[in-house]
Amino acid sequence: MMRFNNRSKRIMTEKIQNLIVKYLTREASISELDELSQWIDNNPMNRTEFKKFIQVDHAVNFNLKKFDAVNSKLQLIEFIEREKRTLRFRKFLNYTKYAAILIVLLGIGYFFNIGFLENKSPLINTNDGEPLVNNAEIIPGSDKATLTLEDGSTIELEKGKAIQTEKMKSNGQELVYNNSNVSGGEIKSNYLTIPRGGQFHVQLSDGTLVWLNSESQLKYPVSFIEGEPRIVELIYGEAYFEVSPSTEHKGSSFKVLNKSQEIEVLGTQFNIKAYKDETNIYTTLVEGKVAVSSSGSEQVLKPNQQLNLNLEDLSMSVMKVNVKYELAWRDGLFSFKGKSLEEIARVLSRWYDVEIQFLTPELKVVKFNGVLRKKDSIEEILNILINSNSIKAYEIESGRILIK
């Protein structure tokens, strides 16, 4: 039997650690991956050490030496996406037993979830249950919306379908109104409705940009009246606004109305989350200044602040937040920092347009931290939850997800 002295053990540990880091960041060669796999298979203790290494505390301390702590999360995801598009990685997927790396980013560091799609038995098996999928295809959301015109007629907007009228045009992924104001008269409004499993982007006639998340509806004028406040209404859902400055519109302010609150802005960027099935409205300021009014009370927000309006008692509270987490949805990501599985299920059900039920009610309060990709399949998302020990198993049946 081969024996190692303490120095040899330390050298071997450093080498394996370097291999793991190269593996997690997709820098490892096939021979290095083979070496790592052999090391894991040689001894059950090695598998245990590997699992310990990718836990949060160790991964944070080791990997922060190589990544900038502030921007590394989103940069790492972008890096992986670039790598997946290369021929070398496609060959890697097709001809080796390593089929995918699933990465979940936790807190200020990294939690790495490793699974291999081609090999049904993952390198680290943290789940005793087997997912069950019964011929039910659930696909990620896409760019789509329904536009309701001032005469009540509707137009379906979706990728690959271009439309153009006298006042606006759409390429199926965004809607752009002509840059125009009117001197007076009756305001004519359009409605943009985003279904479950959809998202869309609109440029209003004053140049204001609005991104709408799934299951949302926005009411807005086809043209604003010159000299009067520019008013839109987020009837429900979530929207991110980049407001055209009042200095470009003769001082006209911009207001966003929503149930139980009004937001007045002067050239700013902010996010409103006001879903019908939630009892709170969240207003998050990115830059500029907004005043949020409700039931006679008013709060002025500063950048990186979020106002929480409780619809049950109409109380308001303000806290400092990381806007990158709050706006991740606009960049094609799910940001779940300290979210319960019940909250996460609501988000997933809107994006994938699927009903999610918990067969074990106690799981609803389990917390999960991570940044995931919206374009991933629902099975990939659920498998990440399994490998992070958040859930034990799941079943997909007739378009419904059962969490166990």
Residue 120: its pLDDT value, please? 31
Per-domain boundaries in the chain: 6-125, 133-138+332-403, 142-321
Q: Which of 224, 145, 159 is nearest to 186 (CA)?
A: 224
Closest of 388, 314, 288, 346 to residue 55, by C-alpha: 388
Residue linked to tokens 């830059």:
287
Tell me what pLDDT residue 26 has.
52
Answering whether pTM is above 0.75, one says no
* Confidence (pLDDT) at 88: 40
Buried b (16+ CB within 10 A) or exposed e, 188-217: ebbbbbbbebbbbbbbbbbebbbbbbbbbb
Angle between helices 44-53 and 6-24 (to 10 degrees): 60
Fold (topology level) of 133-138+332-403: Phage tail protein beta-alpha-beta fold (3.55.50)
Q: Which residues of the chain have pLDDT under 50?
A: 1-11, 56-73, 78-128
Task: Classify domain 142-321 by CATH architecture.
Answer: Sandwich (2.60)
- At residue 113, the pLDDT reads 36
